[in-house]
């Protein structure tokens, strides 16, 4: 069960102070060293938070913390955990001005993408952050990531799901984990940085989404069977034949460059055609982090289009996966899902 721990900064109750809910899901930021390596530890993390004078400062918003149970290494996240995070935010949406989601870095871009879709008509800042080095270590990136994420969540510039890490605020559904060991671990290759935290936090106003109109609601996700295939030279497509059944609802194909696949004898095409005939939605993404898919630019991609695949343009694989879950969970027809996959719903693609 998730319980909220009230940890108000001094000045608690002062009128005009913004209120932020920190949703702790786990990840390196709150881990401690155990015999088996780093693992999440709620009490130790809370003790460390209470020892940070910055978090009790008058310059900070009022903040409370809710811990997911169990706390996870983000490699263990599933749609169930995405739903649980969405439920906490939805339940407390009216009480808080913004949300900070503490999360492991490994799948943070997936969760950020998923929340960007499931939090419908979200007008509040939802800032995911974490760290490469836990808060318990003397030299760490956890402290700055947490403090700055709280400040951004307490401001009134952001009205969308973002990821703050290493001094940069990125659109959540445009982010990818780029480095396994750099403190600047995330990139947004196809969309500008939303804010840079230098001496001051400088927002890129033109790149930020306007506040959504309409009333906020949560769309829970269903765990629909979807897949991802990464194409490589010499790929034996026939090996994938057995997964292309009616059960497979959607598949993301990570192609070369602008959407190209090898055209050799046991080509992907018959398999794509089979999937398409089965009603599977096929999204074409690029293995290049930067740039866009352009189906039909080359002979090797025209065939994909003719076989019924849809262009994902410059969407990340993370966002494509999350968007498929979201659209299938809304109970839309195949035609509606195809149409929505090709256009931007939350600023996740340039189509």
Which of the residues are catalytic?
28
User: What single DSSP character describes residue 177?
Assistant: E
Which residue from 90, 105, 260, 311 is in contact with ligand ASP, where contact means CB under 6 A?
A: 105
Span near ligand ASP by CB under 6 A; candidates 7-15, 44-52, 104-112, 118-126: 104-112
Q: Which is nearer to ligand ASP, 102 or 282 (CB)?
A: 102
> Over 23-63, what HEC string results?
EEEECHHHEEEECCEEEECHHHHHHHHHCCHHHHCCCCCEE
Q: Report if residue 106 touches ligand ASP, rule: CB under 6 A.
A: yes
Maximal CA-CA distance, the chain: 71
Residues of this chain, 226-285, that bind ligand ASP according to CB under 6 A: none
Burial of 112 (0-12, 13-18, 19+ CB in 10 A): buried
Tokens of 11: 């000045």
Residue nearest to ligand ASP (CB): 104
Q: Which is nearer to ligand ASP, 101 or 283 (CB)?
A: 101
Please list, residue by residue across 243-274, b when 16 or more beta carbons sit within 10 angstroms of its beta carbon and e when fewer do. Answer: ebeeebbbbbbbbbebbbbbeeeebbbebbbe
Per the CB < 8 A criterion, the answer to whether 245 and 278 are in contact is yes
Q: Report if residue 132 touches ligand ASP, rule: CB under 6 A.
A: yes
Which residue from 9, 27, 170, 275 is in contact with ligand ASP, where contact means CB under 6 A?
A: 27
Cα torsion at 59, 116, 347, 153 (round to 10°)?
Answer: 0
Q: Which is nearer to ligand ASP, 108 or 119 (CB)?
A: 108
Q: Report if residue 75 touches ligand ASP, rule: CB under 6 A.
A: yes
Whole-number minimum distance, CB 93 to ligand ASP, in Å? 26
Whole-number minimum distance, CB 148 to ligand ASP, in Å? 17
Whole-number minimum distance, CB 22 to ligand ASP, in Å? 16
Per the CB < 8 A criterion, the answer to whether 294 and 301 are in contact is yes
- Residue with tokens 């750099």, as numbered in its chain: 182
Q: Report if residue 74 touches ligand ASP, rule: CB under 6 A.
A: yes
Q: Report if residue 30 touches ligand ASP, rule: CB under 6 A.
A: no
Which residue from 130, 172, 259, 312 is in contact with ligand ASP, where contact means CB under 6 A?
A: 130
The binding site for ligand ASP (CB under 6 A) comprises 27-28, 73-75, 104-106, 130, 132
């Amino acid at each position: 069960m998730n319980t909220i721990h009230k940890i108000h900064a001094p000045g608690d109750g002062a009128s005009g102070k913004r209120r932020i809910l920190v949703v702790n899901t786990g990840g390196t930021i709150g881990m401690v060293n155990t015999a088996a390596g780093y693992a999440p530890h709620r009490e130790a993390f809370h003790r460390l938070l209470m020892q940070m004078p910055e978090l009790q400062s008058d310059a900070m918003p009022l903040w409370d913390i809710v811990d997911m149970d169990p706390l996870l290494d983000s490699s263990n996240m599933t749609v169930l955990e995405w739903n649980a995070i969405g439920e906490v935010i939805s339940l407390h949406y009216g009480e808080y001005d913004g949300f900070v989601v503490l999360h492991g870095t490994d799948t943070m871009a997936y969760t950020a993408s998923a929340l960007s879709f499931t939090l419908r008509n979200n007008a509040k800042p939802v800032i995911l952050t974490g760290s490469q080095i836990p808060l318990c270590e003397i030299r760490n990136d956890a402290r700055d990531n947490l403090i700055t994420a709280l400040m951004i969540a307490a401001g009134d510039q952001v009205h969308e799901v973002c990821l703050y890490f290493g001094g940069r605020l990125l659109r959540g559904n445009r982010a990818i984990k780029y480095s396994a060991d750099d403190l600047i671990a995330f990139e947004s290759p196809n969309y500008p940085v939303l804010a840079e935290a230098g001496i001051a936090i400088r927002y890129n106003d033109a790149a930020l989404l306007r506040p959504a109109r309409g009333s906020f609601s949560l769309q829970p996700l269903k765990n629909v069977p979807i897949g991802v295939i990464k194409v490589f030279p010499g790929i034996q497509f026939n090996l994938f034949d057995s997964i292309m059944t009616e059960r497979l609802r959607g598949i993301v194909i990570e192609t070369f460059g602008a959407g190209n696949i090898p055209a050799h004898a046991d080509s992907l095409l018959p398999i794509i055609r089979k999937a398409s005939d089965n009603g599977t939605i096929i999204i074409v993404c690029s293995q290049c982090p930067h740039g866009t898919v352009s189906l039909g630019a080359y002979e090797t991609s025209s065939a994909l289009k003719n076989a019924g695949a849809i262009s994902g343009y410059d969407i990340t694989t993370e966002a494509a996966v999350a968007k498929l879950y979201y659209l299938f969970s809304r109970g839309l027809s195949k035609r509606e899902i195809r149409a929505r996959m090709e256009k931007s719903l939350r600023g996740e693609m340039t189509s």
